[in-house]
Amino acid sequence: MDTYSEIVEKIIQEQQNIIGPLALEQAHKVKGLEINIEKREYKLNGNKKEILDNLINQYKDIFGQTSVEVCKDAVGSIISQVPAGDIPAILQ
Partner 1 sequence: MDEQTDSGGELSHIAEEMYKKNLELSERNKTLSLLRNIDEIVLSTVTNPKHVAQKIAQAIVENTDFSLAGIFIANERRTKFENYALNDEGGVIDEVSIETLLRTSLAKKKTQLTKEGLFAAPMIVRNSPLGVLLIGTSEPLARISEYKKNLMERLSGVVGIAMDSTLLYEQIQQARSKLQTANAELRGLDKAKDEFISLASHQLNTPITVARGYLDLLEEINPTPEKKEKYIKNAEAALVQMTSTVSDLLNASRIQAGRFFFDRKPLDITALAAQIVEQLSPVAKLKNLELTFLPSKEKIPQIKLDQSKMSQVIINFIDNALHYTEHGSVAASIEKINNEILFKVKDTGMGVPKDAQAKLFQKMFRAQNAQDARPDGTGLGLYLAKKIIEEQGGKIIFESRLGKGSTFGFSFPIDTLPK
Q: List interacting residues with partner 1 (CB under 8 A).
A: 17-19, 62-64, 66-67, 69-70, 72-73, 76-77, 80
Residue among 1 and 78 whose Cβ is closer to partner 1: 78
62 forms bridges with which residues in the sheet?
none
Residue among 35 and 63 whose Cβ is closer to partner 1: 63
Measured torsion, CA atoms of residues 45, 9, 3, 81, in degrees rounded to the nearest 10 = 130
CB 90 within 8 A of CB 49: no
Least Å distance, CB 68 to partner 1, is 11
Least Å distance, CB 12 to partner 1, is 14
Cα(35)–Cα(45) distance, integer angstroms: 11
Least Å distance, CB 67 to partner 1, is 6
Measured torsion, CA atoms of residues 55, 90, 51, 24, in degrees rounded to the nearest 10 = -10
Least Å distance, CB 78 to partner 1, is 9
Residue among 17 and 45 whose Cβ is closer to partner 1: 17
